[in-house]
Amino acid sequence: MMQGHEEFLEEVLITEEELQSRIRELGAEISEDYQGKDLHLICILRGGVIFLTDLMRHINVPHSIDFMAVSSYGAGARKSTGQVRITLDLTASIRGRDVLLVEDIIDSGNTIASVLELLKTRHPKSLQVCTLLDKPENRETEVPIHYRGFTLPDKFVFGYGLDIDEFYRDLPFIGVVRADKYIPRNP
Ligand code: PRP
């Protein structure tokens, strides 16, 4: 049995209202910048999905979406390994398109750096990064961030796409885990 999140929630760091209001602003900014362009949003599974689906409903220029998956953190592990592997590739070509990568969080920066390196070789017209959350204190690889929702302190956060052992992604807010209260799930 999984615990209810109330049992280990230390605090709500970003409320649902704060998230939604910032996402509306980001959508407006992106809409303005990509007017007349061939906007193609790429979401890195799985954490970014919730953000993508909310964000795209506030982008009022025509755009398409695609998904890719990479592995960086194993379930249960909380530190980046510094290596990523493509586990699911894009469906469509990005050649000549204005690509915007949509991420839930940039932490060490290793995931997005590897993805950027790979996608550059496929000749998009432009390639930019939008992340809901930025945790700069843990950065190992410098990455360009063109759109940033919130800057976070170095805390173990969950909710709104971010999991703990693959659960709790559905929560509408970003919370901080009370590590001494969370009971790790047995696989
Ligand atoms: C998270 C997040 C980013 C990455 C950021 O994904 O969605 O892709 O970690 O960390 P980094 O900057 O240290 O590389 P995760 O690997 O946890 O997979 P998930 O999205 O399926 O939860």
Q: Kindly report, residue by residue over 31-69, the tens digit of the pLDDT.
A: 999 999 999 999 999 999 999 999 999 999 999 999 999
Task: State the pLDDT at residue 2.
Answer: 84
Q: With a 6 A CB cut-off, is 108 part of the ligand 1 pocket?
A: yes
**How open is the CA angle 101-105-108, to the nearest 5 degrees?**
100
Average pLDDT over residues 15-30: 98
Task: State the pLDDT at residue 76.
Answer: 41
3-state secondary structure of 148: strand
Q: Kindly report, residue by residue over 102-130, the tens digit of the pLDDT.
A: 999 999 999 999 999 999 999 999 999 99
Separation of CA 130 and ligand 1 centre (Å): 14
How many beta carbons lie within 10 A of that of residue 121, not counting itself? 7
Q: How many helices (H) and strands (E) does the chain have?
A: 3, 9
Domains of the chain (ranges; CATH) run: 5-73+81-177 (3.40.50.2020)
Task: State the pLDDT at residue 72.
Answer: 63
Nearest-atom number in ligand 1 for the CA of 71 is 16
Question: Is residue 31 left, alpha or beta, with left meaning phi > 0 and alpha meaning psi from -120 to 50?
Answer: alpha
Task: State the pLDDT at residue 127.
Answer: 98
pTM of the model: 0.93
Q: Kindly report, residue by residue over 140-183, the tens digit of the pLDDT.
A: 999 999 999 999 999 999 999 999 999 999 999 999 999 999 99
Q: Kindly report, residue by residue over 139-150, the tens digit of the pLDDT.
A: 999 999 999 999
Q: With a 6 A CB cut-off, is 54 part of the ligand 1 pocket?
A: no
Active-site residue, 107 included: yes
Sheet-wide strand order for 157-158: 9-14, 174-177, 157-158
The band of 187, judged by pLDDT with boundaries at 50, 70 and 90, is low
Point out the catalytic residue in the list 38, 107, 134, 180. Answer: 107
Q: Kindly report, residue by residue over 70-108, the tens digit of the pLDDT.
A: 986 554 444 444 467 889 999 999 999 999 999 999 999
* Cross-strand partners of 9: 177
The band of 1, judged by pLDDT with boundaries at 50, 70 and 90, is confident
Atom 5, ligand 1: residue with shortest CA distance: 106
